[in-house]
Amino acid sequence: MKWPHRNTVLTLCVLAFFVTMAARLAISPVATLVIEEFRVSKSLLGLALSGMWLAYAVTQFPSGVLGSKYGERVVILAAVGGMSVFVVTLAISPMFPVFVLSCVLLGGFAGLHYPAATTLITRSFDEAGTVIGVHGFGAPLAGLATPVAVSWLGVRYGWRAAILSVAVVGVPIFALFYAR
């Protein structure tokens, strides 16, 4: 039996959801290291993270509109690609204002994923509830894996390498999504 294309779409959407969630979760486990390097308060880092989550929330609506206008695949590629770019800029930030801007833009791009992916997979399957549930599995999987991996990498190699590891995962997922 041949592997149906719709299963590929679902698998890639789960992977994309995993990495967009991982990017948002990767900062908190290394927060202390970021605070020490930039010599900022916990409140300032908290403000940066709040900006990231606000940008994530605000881009949910435009994601659906953009998906309808340009196609869900394009929006998902923008989400994973943009998120990967801003994970890199976050990791190489020379000063805290660049870090904050990178956080906000990372959140904005990551927020594009879910509405577009949900529309794409529900058009590919008859059982919408089941596939939305399977798609949602990417986020808790990231919630389980990211803090452990990023904490270990942060202690061993520093916070920059720890955060950069998300791009190491994101770029191949972008390439797979682009190719399939």
pTM of the model: 0.93
pLDDT at 4: 85
Sequence-distant (6+) residues with CB within 8 A of 139 are 17, 18, 21
- Predicted pLDDT at 51: 98
DSSP state of 44: H
94-132: pLDDT as tens digits = 999 999 999 999 999 999 999 999 999 998 888 888 899
Q: Is 53 buried (19+), middle (13-18) or exposed (0-12) by CB count in 10 A?
A: middle
Rounded Cα–Cα distance for residues 76 and 73 (Å): 5
User: How far is residue 62 CA from its own chain's centroid?
Assistant: 17
Number of C-beta neighbours around residue 118 at 10 A: 21
Regions of the chain with pLDDT less than 70: none
Cβ–Cβ under 8 Å, residues 31 and 171: no
Q: What pLDDT score does 45 carry?
A: 97
